[in-house]
Amino acid sequence: MSKAHETATPSGSKKLPRWGMVIDLNRCIGCHTCEITCKIQNDVPLGIWRSWVKVIEKGKYPNVVRAFRPTLCNHCENPVCVKVCPVHASYKREDGIVMVDPHLCVGCRYCMSACPYEVRYIHPQKGILDKCDFCHFRVDQGLQPACVEACPTSARIFGDLNDPDAEVTQLVEKKPVQALKVDMGTDPHVYYIGLDQATMEIKREVELVWDK
Amino acid sequence: MGQIVYDVHYQTTLGFLISYYFYLTGLSAGSFMISTLSYGFGFEKFKAASKMGVVTAVILLLLAPQFLLMQVAWPVKSLWHNFVYLNPLSAISYGAFLLVLYPLNSIIYGIFMFKDNKKWTKFFGLIGIPLALAVHGYTGWILALGVARDYWNTGLMPIVFLFSAMVSGISMMILMIMIRDRFFTAEKKINREIIDGLAKLLGWLLVVDLFLVFCDYSILLYSRLEGQEVAHFMLYGKMAFGFVVLENLIGKIIPLIIVMVPRLRNSYFLLVLAAIMNMVGILAMRIVTVYGGQALPLM
């Protein structure tokens, strides 16, 4: 896990990093620590989240199990939000982090409706778009994103996917990994190990929020 | 398979303001089309509707972007960022230009029409037609390029928007011409010929509109899971009243029967009723499309 630190300041090669994340759900205990840490680190206002853990309960009593899906911006290689932004406020950094320029954003919310992962929100006070940016200020300093640092079971692994020795690259290459909604052609760079189908389902048998 | 214990639901992205914006641009595009029928295409019987059509089109299109600016969190910033930091891949970028060019062209066209300059009226009218098509087609295009939502992401969306625009524009013109002829003319007599012509046109456009909705839904119901979900949500879910009753029954099918049966069409009362119902139905269509299309969470 210290690999992220090493690749942030590459010594030998000049190759730019490509930041990515692997979330090992065999380790995830659904404690929501990443969610809280993210809110504290990024000063995310009440009622909105940059990253959250979706919790699903499946099975029939007494054989019941909970499945988790930590959710965050997928930092796609081919992000829809960047394509649809009318003012170039959404952009992808060279190291793959998808960000929003608060000075350019006019708050039209088009990217919110185009993002297949629903991870963008309008900041209630600033009126501009906000989203997970892999804690870019921490990454630039050679640190890990806050959620990765805080995870008590090390379920979140962050690093440079261009570095063949990094733990993320090893996991993506050697383990069976999944990504969300690859059919959208976005090429997401957040990978999951052991992701439960139930957490990705669109079909809802539960009562929806607006049905109440 | 599973019960959701905890999940985060997001803010509504495009709200009622956007629906009203789409509605007003639709009415504007529709009335502009009517105004070009006589000067641009030589249908002389619609001449009495031309001046009214262009004035309405300009007023509505000056009004419509105000809703857009209310929706945008930084309205003043958006006025110039849209031009300076233009992203040619985004549908909204083109909208910014169209929303400037189309009212300008309509004003010039209107000035020549009021000066009775047939040649230049025709010229600017014919330039205005693609602009009017574009200014409303692009609103459907914006939704269609919101690729995450299966309900929006269909090639039919711009065409559906165009036809609903023309339908609602014609209904509005029927109402306005009747009010003008009945109350604001010397002879207080409604021009039967033009109302009849517009009503027939409304009927045929409603047939196309209903056919497009049928195509859209029949394909959606067989498409990916998400498309099926949203189609069920529209047909039997919370949106059923808006979609089935308001939009299609009250907004399209009943007006279609009224304008297509000559005996019913001859009644001014029923015709007014049909026009009002159609305008309400198209407003419902805008709200259903914008709000209902994004109501279901994606994952």
| Structural domain spans, chain A | 3-77+134-200
Question: Cα B284 from chain centroid?
Answer: 11
Token pair, residue A164, equals 């063949």
* Helix, strand, coil in percent for chain A, rounding step 5: 25, 20, 55
Q: Which domains does chain B have, with CATH numbers?
A: 16-293 (1.20.1630.10)
Q: What is the pLDDT of residues A33-49, one digit of tens each?
A: 999 999 999 999 988 89
> Residue A209: pLDDT above 50?
no
Do the bridges between strand A190-193 and strand A19-24 make them parallel or antiparallel, or are there none, so unpaired?
Answer: parallel
> Residue A205: pLDDT above 80?
no
CB pair distance less than 8 Å for A204 and B229: yes
- Global pTM value: 0.90
Q: What is the pLDDT of residues B273-287, one digit of tens each?
A: 999 999 999 999 999
CB pair distance less than 8 Å for A58 and B1: yes
Token pair, residue B74, equals 């930084």
Q: Measure the CA–CA gap between B164 and B208, rounded to whole angstroms.
A: 10
Give me the helix-helix angle, B157-183 and B50-71, nearest 10°. 130
CB pair distance less than 8 Å for A113 and B10: no
Q: Measure the CA–CA gap between B135 and B131, rounded to whole angstroms.
A: 6
Q: Measure the CA–CA gap between B63 and B221, rounded to whole angstroms.
A: 37
Residues 6 or more apart in contact with residue A7 via CB below 8 angstroms: A17, A159, A160, A162, A163, A166
* Predicted local distance difference test score (pLDDT) of residue B298: 83
Average pLDDT of every residue of chain B:
90
Token pair, residue B40, equals 């641009």
Q: What is the pLDDT of residues B93-151, one digit of tens each?
A: 888 899 999 999 999 999 999 998 888 988 998 898 899 889 888 899 999 998 989 99
Q: Measure the CA–CA gap between B69 and B102, rounded to whole angstroms.
A: 17
> Residue A6: pLDDT above 70?
no
Range scoring the smallest mean pLDDT among A103-107, A143-147, B43-47, B122-126 = B43-47
> Residue A182: pLDDT above 70?
yes
| CATH code of the domain made up of A3-77+134-200 | 3.30.70.20
Q: Measure the CA–CA gap between B140 and A212, rounded to whole angstroms.
A: 31
CB pair distance less than 8 Å for B2 and A83: no
Q: Measure the CA–CA gap between A161 and A165, rounded to whole angstroms.
A: 9
> Residue B175: pLDDT above 50?
yes
Percent of all residues in chain B with a pLDDT value above 70, rounded to a whole number: 100
- Residue type at A95 in one-letter notation: D
* Predicted local distance difference test score (pLDDT) of residue A4: 43
Contacts of B296 in chain A (CB under 8 A): 202, 208
**Closest Cα of chain A to B93: distance in Å?**
5
Q: What is the DSSP letter of A110?
A: H
Token pair, residue B27, equals 């009415």
- Side-chain-side CA neighbours of B152 within 13 Å: the count stands at 28
Could you give phi then psi for residue B3, rounded to 5 degrees?
Answer: -100, 135
- Closest CA relative to residue A195, chosen from A80, A53, A37: A53
Average pLDDT of every residue of chain A:
87
Contacts of A87 in chain B (CB under 8 A): 78, 81-82, 85-87
Q: Tell me, what's the ipTM? A: 0.87
Token pair, residue B192, equals 């039967």
CB atoms within 10 A of CB B252: 23
- Closest CA relative to residue A171, chosen from A141, A147, A148, A193: A193
- Residue type at A41 in one-letter notation: Q
